[in-house]
């Protein structure tokens, strides 16, 4: 049985449609003072329950997930899996300076304490966060859907641009699958959410460039990389990312940048995107993963 919070109900319904089931009946409301209330309106005793809820801002999305997990546990579900297409609060995964929190570990503790027996997520910003959990953890990748879309475009002289050194491994994997070359943008962050592009390592002159990242938050890196690539003679610039976090002003910034198309997925919903944006659905991958978890089958083939 699949239940969903309010963060991304459209994707949850598309996932249930793929599975051929109806989404579970649950009421998510607010008390007069704004506190969240949850009630599951069907018997789930002894059932395999999946709670579908990405945890992007605001923090109410995280609270909805925790409260729904607690409700499922107290209703005697046989197993409760937290399905989190976008795992929020993952960018602080270590102490890189004094007196800062490790929010990824904090969130891991809260999800486990709330009653999750298993976790399913996609393209985490820091894959090592899997080690923060003591419950089974399934980490999916959007690559199969993204690769299929890029291959269908048939771009000539394609070069993958990793926006920073940390994305080079992901970029290399994409480049190998697409038979493309790899370039890397050298940047630094003087403070959170602020990026300064230094230079591009690799030959991009006359090439079709695909900037690849796991998420787009402010879009500053993408825009600066696109401008630099154009200045170095790139024929066309495209951008591709799994999670469209899109802080305020990001959509307008990307719309004005020298980028032909921005390809994202529906792990985070947006209703104000322009024609420059292409949204690919993760319902098939998430639905198939849920089916295989329920049937106790391997998920390995989903990573091919």
Closest CA relative to residue 77, chosen from 30, 24, 13, 14: 24
The active-site residue out of 105, 169, 187, 276 is 187
Rg from Cα positions in the chain = 20
Answer yes or no: are the C-beta atoms of 48 and 78 closer than 8 Å.
yes
187 part of the active site: yes
Residues known to be catalytic: 187
């Amino acid at each position: 049985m699949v239940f969903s919070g309010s963060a991304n109900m459209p994707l949850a319904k598309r996932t249930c449609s793929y599975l051929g089931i109806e989404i579970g009946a649950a009421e998510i409301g607010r008390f007069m003072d704004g506190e969240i209330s949850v009630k599951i309106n069907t018997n789930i005793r002894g059932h395999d329950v999946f709670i579908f809820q990405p945890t992007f801002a605001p923090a109410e999305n995280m609270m909805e997930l925790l409260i729904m997990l607690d409700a499922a546990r107290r209703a005697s579900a046989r197993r409760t899996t937290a399905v989190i297409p976008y795992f929020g609060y993952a960018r602080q995964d270590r102490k890189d300076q004094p007196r800062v929190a490790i929010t990824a570990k904090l969130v891991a503790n809260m999800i486990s304490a709330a009653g999750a027996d298993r976790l399913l997520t996609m393209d985490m910003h820091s894959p090592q966060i899997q080690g923060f959990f003591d419950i089974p953890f399934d980490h999916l990748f959007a690559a199969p859907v993204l690769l299929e879309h890029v291959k269908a475009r048939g771009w000539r002289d394609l070069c993958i641009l990793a926006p920073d050194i940390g994305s080079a491994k992901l970029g290399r994997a994409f480049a190998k699958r697409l038979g493309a070359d790899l370039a890397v943008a050298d940047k630094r962050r003087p403070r959170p959410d602020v990026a300064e592009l230094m230079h591009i390592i690799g030959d991009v002159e006359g090439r079709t460039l695909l900037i690849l990242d796991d998420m787009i938050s402010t879009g500053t890196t993408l825009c600066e990389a696109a401008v630099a690539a154009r200045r170095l003679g790139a024929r066309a610039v495209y951008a591709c990312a799994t999670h469209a976090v899109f802080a305020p002003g990001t959509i307008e910034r990307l719309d004005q940048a020298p980028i032909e198309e921005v390809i994202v997925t529906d792990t985070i919903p947006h209703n104000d995107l322009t024609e420059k944006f292409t949204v690919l659905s993760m319902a098939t991958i998430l639905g198939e993963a849920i089916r295989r978890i329920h049937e106790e089958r391997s998920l390995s083939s989903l990573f091919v």
